[in-house]
C-alpha cells in the first residue's frame, strides 16, 4: 500500500497567487482530513470529509480557503489568494471509517508551503 499521497511536497509562491494542494487517500478509506501545522499554532484540523461529503469545515480559517473531494480517491485544498501567514505544513490524512470509533488516521508526508 502506497499510503496517503500528497503533492507537491514543497511549494514556494508569492503573495496573491493561487495555491492548490492535492491528496490521494489510502484506497478503501472513507474519511479524509486536511490539517495545517505551524510552530505557533501546532496541528489544526481544517476540514474533513466522510464519503466525499464535507462534514465539518469549521477549522477553515477564512473564505480564501476551499476544499473539494470530487471522488473517493482525490481531494484538493485551494488557497486563493495566498498570504505569507498561510505558510505552514499542510497534512492530509485518511481513515477507514470515521463513524466506527475504532479507526485511526494515516497521515501523508505533508506539503510545505512558503508564501513570500
Nearest to 25 by CA among 56, 59, 2: 2
Member of 7, 20, 22, 45 binding another protein (CB under 8 A): 45
Nearer to another protein, 14 or 56 (CB): 56
Member of 24, 69, 91, 113 binding another protein (CB under 8 A): 91
Member of 23, 32, 36, 48 binding another protein (CB under 8 A): 48
Residue 30, Ramachandran bin (φ over 0: left; ψ between -120 and 50: alpha; else beta): alpha
The binding site for another protein (CB under 8 A) comprises 33, 42-45, 48, 55-56, 91, 98-99, 101-102, 104-110
Amino acid at each position: 500500500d502506497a499510503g496517503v499521497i500528497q503533492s507537491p511536497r514543497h511549494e514556494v509562491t508569492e503573495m496573491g497567487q493561487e495555491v492548490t494542494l492535492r491528496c490521494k487517500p489510502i484506497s478503501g478509506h472513507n474519511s479524509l482530513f486536511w490539517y495545517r501545522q505551524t510552530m505557533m499554532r501546532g496541528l489544526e484540523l481544517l476540514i474533513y470529509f466522510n464519503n466525499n461529503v464535507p462534514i465539518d469545515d469549521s477549522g477553515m480559517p477564512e473564505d480564501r480557503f476551499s476544499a473539494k473531494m470530487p471522488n473517493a480517491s482525490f481531494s484538493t485544498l485551494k488557497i486563493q489568494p495566498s498570504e505569507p501567514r498561510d505558510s505552514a505544513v499542510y497534512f492530509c490524512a485518511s481513515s477507514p471509517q470515521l463513524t466506527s470509533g475504532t479507526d485511526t488516521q494515516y497521515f501523508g508526508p505533508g506539503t510545505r508551503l512558503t508564501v513570500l
